[in-house]
Structure 1
Amino acid sequence: MSSGGPGRIPLWFELWMGVITTVIALLCVALCWEIAAQGSFPTKVLLWVGLSVVGGVAVCFGILGLIRYHAILVSLAAPILIATLAALVWYEVPESAGWRLSRPILEDQAAACANPGHRTRLGIYAVTYITRRDGGCLFYIAGGATNSEGLAYFPDSAPSIGPPGPGAIGYEPFHGPWYRFVENT
């Protein structure tokens, strides 16, 4: 029996759920950033695993809070954050937002298509290399697992669409004169 009666939520429970919800919110924000910026696969996996573990703890304590303390808001805050993140990822909101934020600066840089000589951030993308190839401007984006990948700008004519062959580049349409590419190395 709780000391404060069935309607009273203990302070330790509110604080614990507050900490868990804050950690989940931070993981959700970091994951949205990594997805939007086309971050590295290992980083995304670590964030998903961390979110799964902390989310599992939140669900366990949330069930306890619902049953024992009738703490609806405190117990459901973390699962609602996770559900919101899932919906955002499902509808590709982080990718869309990242592209909208980065497109103007990428188009400005594509006009000159000059490699800065070092890794740089254009919009939210970490660009490792910029070069002219196949009649367009290629932006290699950090985060590719084994192959080189990124975004390519072809303002005048479209490149050959299709998967890459050995030692070649494969392009797929992305947005207007922009294409995603993968280069097999």
Structure 2
Amino acid sequence: MSIGGTVRRVSRGWIAWAAVTAGLVALDCAALVWQQASDGDGIATLALLAGAAGCGVMWFVVMLVGAIKYRAFVLSAIAPVLVVGTVLMLWSGVAERAGWRISKGGLEREAVACVESGGPHRVGIYTVSRVRRADGGCLFETSEDLLSQVGFAYLPNGAPAAQHEYDYNYRPYDGPWYRYSW
């Protein structure tokens, strides 16, 4: 590249730095998509978002050095393209719907028998921490925070209305399937 009439070649060190940054951004974005698709817990999502912020700072420095010193913009553009694609995928619900499509058959098989369990196991790509009968159906707990539980509910006769403040809150999801929180 020419700056002020002199040719300045892009250093291998900067190329490696830009490639590592883009790779870290790609890994973080893939992990965020997995978190949404697999109905992961909020704490891991927050950790990944913090990692994304760190990658963003690193990318900004790489971009500035590349733009000012080498006028190299293509490698600097990889990370923002990945981030924008990931945000669109998460915002549109594509990852969540893909996770549901992958896991729905396994959940339906388990919902028929609704064998109560207290230990975590995999159903499709979801980690189900507990299965139990409730409200005329079968509840699959996929995530539990300090203050709430969330998961999928198979309620073939429909969801009951919440009677008390601490009852399950059901939202229609797919046919006899509901998302629930407590």
Change (3 A) 1:125 1:145: farther
Point out where structure 2 has 5 or more consecutive residues left out of the alignment: none
Structure 2: distance between partners of 1:145 and 1:33 = 22
Residue 170 (structure 1) aligns with: 169
The TM-score, its normalising length taken from structure 2, stands at 0.89
Structure 1: distance between partners of 2:164 and 2:60 = 46
Structure 2: distance between partners of 1:82 and 1:17 = 15
Aligned pair count? 179
Letter in 1 for 2:174: H
- 1:59 deviates by 2.2
Change (3 A) 1:160 1:116: closer
1:62 pairs with 2:63: yes
Contact 1:6–1:68 under 8 Å retained in 2: no
Other structure's SS at 2:129 match? strand
What are the Cα deviations for residues 13-54 of structure 1, in whole angstroms up to 9, with x where unaligned?
Answer: 000011111111111111111111121111111100110121
Structure 2: distance between partners of 1:143 and 1:80 = 33
Contact 1:36–1:95 under 8 Å retained in 2: yes
Other structure's SS at 1:142 match? strand
What are the Cα deviations for residues 106-147 of structure 1, in whole angstroms up to 9, with x where unaligned?
Answer: 011111111244210111111111111111111111244511
Residue 133 (structure 1) aligns with: 134
- Name which of structure 1's ranges 65-74 and 10-19 shifts more when overlaid on structure 2: 65-74
Structure 2: distance between partners of 1:75 and 1:7 = 17
- 1:8 deviates by 2.2
Contact 2:103–2:123 under 8 Å retained in 1: yes
Residue 159 (structure 2) aligns with: 159
1:78 pairs with 2:76: no
Point out where structure 1 has 5 or more consecutive residues left out of the alignment: none
Residue 113 (structure 2) aligns with: 112
Letter in 1 for 2:171: E
